[in-house]
Amino acid sequence: MSSLEKKPSILLVDDDGEIRTYIRTALEQAGFEISEAPNGKDAMNVFRRAPCEAVLTDILMPEGEGIRLILDLKRESPATAIIVMTGGSGTTDYSFIAKGFGVRYVLFKPFSVEKLVMTVRAALAGKN
């Protein structure tokens, strides 16, 4: 990528600051521009101020669940690629719910940096 090319922009949404730092660092090293939010409500505010090409979001978060964020993004910006991260805990399969709302890319925690970067690139190439 030349210095004149724009880096793909990703909004990273997770209530765990350590996870955000880990993912942000990995994606920045892979050539992406990252903005962050700790929950879905803040994420929509960030997105509305500076739309991005993809959103990478956790599903279970306080103050703005990931499912609500997915619904808002699908309504306001249907071309934005959405990637869901889930730990898969509990009895509810949130990845299944997210896919029902049209999310094509799901990362199950824990995931490798390679899997993360590969999934983000696939989502950007295939857009939801």
Per-residue confidence (pLDDT) for residue 32, from 0 to 100: 97
Class of domain 9-126: alpha beta
Percentage of residues of the chain with pLDDT beyond 70 = 88
d(CA 41, CA 5): 31
Whether the ω angle into residue 110 lies within 30 degrees of 0, i.e. cis, is: yes
Show me where the domains of the chain are located. Answer: 9-126
- 20-67 tens-digit pLDDT: 999 999 999 999 999 999 999 999 999 999 999 999 999 888 766 888
Which neighbouring-strand residues pair with 13?
37, 57
pLDDT for the residue numbered 89: 58
Q: What is the pLDDT of residues 102-128, one digit of tens each?
A: 888 999 888 999 999 999 999 999 854
Name the 3-class secondary structure at 88: coil
Task: Name the more confident of 78 and 98.
Answer: 78
Say what the pTM is. Answer: 0.90
Residue 14 has pLDDT above 60, yes or no: yes
Query: Which has more confidence, 5 or 2?
Result: 5
Task: Give me the pLDDT at residue 64, please.
Answer: 65
- Give the pLDDT of residue 96: 75
Confidence band for 95, pLDDT divided at 50, 70 and 90 = confident
